[in-house]
Amino acid sequence: MTLNRFIIAASLALSIATAAFAEEPQKAPAGAVDPAAAAATATAAAPAMTPPAAETAPIAAPAPKLTVKKELKANKAITLSMFALIIGITLAVVIKAASKNKTAADFYAAGGGITGAQNGWAIAGDYMSAASFLGISGMISLYGYDGFMYSVGWLVAYITVLLIVAEPCRNAGKYTMGDILSFRTDPKPVRAVAAMATVAVTTFYLTAQMVGAGKLMALLVGVPYRTAIVGVGILMVGYVVFGGMTATTWVQIIKAGLLMAGASLLSVLVMAKAGFNPLRFFEMIVNSPDIQDHVTKMLLKDGKTGADLLTGVDAGQRFLEPGLYLKNPLDQISLGMALVLGTAGMPHILMRFFTVPTAQAARKSVIIAMWIIGIFYVLTTLLGFGAAINVTPQGITQVDAGGNMATLLLAQQLGADIAPIFGDIFLAFLCSVAFATILAVVSGLVLAASAAIAHDIYVNVIKDGHADQHEQVMAARITSLVVGVLGIIIGIAAEKQNVAHLVALAFAVASSGNLPVVVLSLFWKKFNTAGVIAGLVVGTIASIGLVMVSPNMTYPKLEAAKGEKIIHAMEKKMAALAPGATLDAKDQKALDKAKVDLLNKDGKSILGLDAPILTLKNPGIISIPLGFLAAILAALAFPSKRSEEMFDEVYVRQNTGIGMAKAIDH
């Protein structure tokens, strides 16, 4: 045991240290895609790759593309046809799964009949959001190496999941996080608080996903925002209400397969441009005049002058080195902690371990998921750098300042290089994949939230565990419908809101509230009811409170000050224009926004603040220790003899699986 604990501790320390380089991409507009993340939505920990410029002869620099006007416009007929095909396939899965949902175990956990390989693909599908596919590759296309480092935390997080929670949660739980926490505690208050924490995390994450879905569909195929939100909402409700976990699992598997296929094909086209020679690929980056110009301008904005201001090949080389975007080490460490520890506390991820028949299958599913996710993030690296070479950073920012459309622009361009119709088809396919990605993720979130409400609150708190199978399934379906409808309403209400902070908030709450109590419940003998409640309440409130006073929120006075500077700059620019000339569309938009911001110069943040109190964008470095500390101190202050006596049973159960319901074939 000592050796095992040492290995776990060492691995966790390495994970956090590696993920410390990550930072939330704040510049990505929240409406463009699922933010995740950030999340937010955010990962292969590959070694830094720097082109050996000294050892190889530089290739001829490509012609500058700075004057090319980029535009992203999907072929509506082809795109909607692909959407219809994917929806048709997934609905067929739902119809087949609906006939098998006879019991609560069927609905929540697919009867424990999902294989390790299937669950691995489903976990990957649940985890690889649109922010991963579009956001991270966009970060790489604009910030080079730093964009890749942002993705590291997402993959490293699964080391925590594999070593600490996967097998014990599968053996000790049944359907929800509340099942794990209530086993040796006072079940009613613990289940109630656990359900509220679950709903909080899923609401934050679901809102970001829904807003991303609406904006993405509106941008790509011209579907009105509200129509897109209602359409996604109806589909996710249908998947969950009728298909339960079985249908949700297969939707996630299908989505993961499509995502890997699209990323792989696009990566092959990118490498074909470099003759499948990695060294040539990175030489193309270093020697690209567009990338060089982009880096030089970024360094100028950072105040670099003289010897610190790089140009030419030196600027291209700088694109492959850290430090263009990630500049605050403390913020990087804080976000890294939230990502590495938050994944293991995400309710919809924990729920996936109840779907497999054995502990071995749970471990296998995590390993398979890690491989899939790892390969995927290596591919996003190729896509990001490939977009920088072929589309150029300037072309990408013309379409979207945050770079979220880089992968789609790349697909459209490389496909069109073969034949114009291929550009439309490839773009339509990737748009459909992004749509399927959002559907898969929101379905998992709705299922997790409905399980917490129906199973923990209704069945075990209100009905005191006395509900037959039919009643439990009906409760699950009704709550799924309610959660889905609320998701649609919130998505519509948040259309004009900046929701980028919600993914950071979801991971902060999961890492600060959920993870401490899950880990301590499984591994600390003296942990009890007081510890669970204190850990969940303090961790959740602390993380939410700190985000509310962080730079993630909008501060009208600060925005007005920025707006005033922009107005002065634009006035100077207009004065320098030829008679009769006007600002271009981008500058005019910036000027209009600045004028609006200036009108609200006396406004305050949602908490009535003029400026952020906390300088960190992610509060994990503060809120995670607070969650652990509150849980430990409360458990010590209010000891429970019963909880200590039942620890041996929990210990045996989590290591052997004794007491788990037998799997039902599916």
Report which residue type is found at 14: L
Residue 396 confidence (pLDDT) above 60: yes
- Rounded average pLDDT over 272-292: 93
- The better pLDDT of the pair 80, 20 is held by 80
Residue 112's beta-bridge partner residues?
Answer: none
- In the prediction, which pLDDT does 173 show? 67
- In the prediction, which pLDDT does 657 show? 66
Q: What is the band of 70 on the pLDDT scale with cuts at 50, 70, 90? A: low
Its CATH class, for the domain covering 2-65+75-96+110-555+604-656, is mainly alpha
Domain boundaries of the chain, sorted by first residue: 2-65+75-96+110-555+604-656
Cα three-residue angle 206-208-213, rounded to 5 degrees: 95
> In this predicted structure, which of 37-51, 489-503, 574-588 has the lowest mean pLDDT?
37-51
- What does 46-104 look like in DSSP terms, one character per residue? PPP----TTTSPPPPPPPP-TT--------HHHHHHHHHHHHHHHHHHHHHHHTT--SH
Distance CA 215, CA 212 (A): 5
Helical spans, DSSP H, in 42-75: none
> In this predicted structure, which of 11-20, 292-301, 364-373, 536-545 has the lowest mean pLDDT?
11-20
Residue 498 confidence (pLDDT) above 50: yes
- In the prediction, which pLDDT does 43 show? 30
Residue 359 confidence (pLDDT) above 70: yes
The region that residue 24 occupies, defined by phi over 0 for left and psi between -120 and 50 for alpha, beta otherwise, is beta
Residue 263 confidence (pLDDT) above 70: yes
- In the prediction, which pLDDT does 69 show? 54
Three-state DSSP at 202 gives helix
- In the prediction, which pLDDT does 71 show? 66
The region that residue 323 occupies, defined by phi over 0 for left and psi between -120 and 50 for alpha, beta otherwise, is left
Distance CA 133, CA 204 (A): 20
Helices (runs of H) and strands (runs of E) counted in the chain: 29, 1
Residue 338 confidence (pLDDT) above 70: yes
Tally of CB atoms within 10 A around 99: 10
Cα three-residue angle 369-375-377, rounded to 5 degrees: 100
Tally of CB atoms within 10 A around 234: 13
Cβ atoms of 324 and 140 within 8 Å: the answer is: no
Q: What is the band of 491 on the pLDDT scale with cuts at 50, 70, 90? A: confident
Cβ atoms of 427 and 326 within 8 Å: the answer is: no
Cα three-residue angle 485-490-493, rounded to 5 degrees: 130
Report which residue type is found at 374: G
Q: Residue 525: exposed, middle, or buried by beta-carbon count in 10 A (0-12, 13-18, 19+)? A: middle
Residue 222 confidence (pLDDT) above 80: no
Residue 91 confidence (pLDDT) above 70: yes
Enter the pTM of the model. Answer: 0.78
Residue 36 confidence (pLDDT) above 90: no
Q: Is the dihedral of CA 624, 437, 391, 261 positive or negative?
A: positive
Distance CA 217, CA 424 (A): 16
Distance CA 250, CA 422 (A): 29
Cβ atoms of 249 and 110 within 8 Å: the answer is: yes
Residue 26 confidence (pLDDT) above 60: no
Q: How does the average pLDDT of the chain come out, rounded?
A: 81
Cβ atoms of 156 and 286 within 8 Å: the answer is: no
- In the prediction, which pLDDT does 4 show? 42
pLDDT (tens digit per residue) in 223-253: 888 888 898 889 888 888 888 899 899 989 9
pLDDT (tens digit per residue) in 616-657: 878 889 999 999 999 999 999 999 998 998 888 888 877 776
- The contacts found for 15-18 with CB under 8 angstroms, 24 or more apart, are 15/156, 15/157, 15/159, 15/160, 15/340, 16/333, 16/336, 16/337, 16/340, 16/341, 18/45, 18/152, 18/153, 18/156, 18/336
- In the prediction, which pLDDT does 567 show? 87
- In the prediction, which pLDDT does 308 show? 74
Cα–chain center distance at 532: 26
Residue 328 confidence (pLDDT) above 60: yes
Distance CA 431, CA 405 (A): 10
Residue 542 confidence (pLDDT) above 50: yes
What is the share, in percent, of the chain residues with pLDDT greater than 70?
86
For tokens 């200590």, the residue is: 644
pLDDT (tens digit per residue) in 125-178: 888 877 677 888 888 999 998 887 767 777 777 777 877 877 888 777 678 888
Residue 477's beta-bridge partner residues?
Answer: none
Residue 6 confidence (pLDDT) above 50: no
Cβ atoms of 658 and 578 within 8 Å: the answer is: no
Three-state DSSP at 105 gives helix
The end-to-end CA distance of the chain, in Å, is 36
- What does 565-610 look like in DSSP terms, one character per residue? HHHHHHHHHHHTSPTT----HHHHHHHHHHHHHHHTTT---TTS-S
Residue 514 confidence (pLDDT) above 80: yes
Report which residue type is found at 438: I
- In the prediction, which pLDDT does 49 show? 34
- In the prediction, which pLDDT does 267 show? 95
Distance CA 457, CA 464 (A): 9
- Rounded average pLDDT over 520-543: 93
The region that residue 58 occupies, defined by phi over 0 for left and psi between -120 and 50 for alpha, beta otherwise, is beta
Of 123-137, 230-244, 264-278, 313-327, which has the strongest mean pLDDT? 264-278
- What does 32-47 look like in DSSP terms, one character per residue? TS--BEEEE-----PP
Q: What is the band of 60 on the pLDDT scale with cuts at 50, 70, 90? A: very low
Distance CA 295, CA 393 (A): 10
R_g (Cα) of the chain, nearest Å = 25
For tokens 């480092």, the residue is: 149
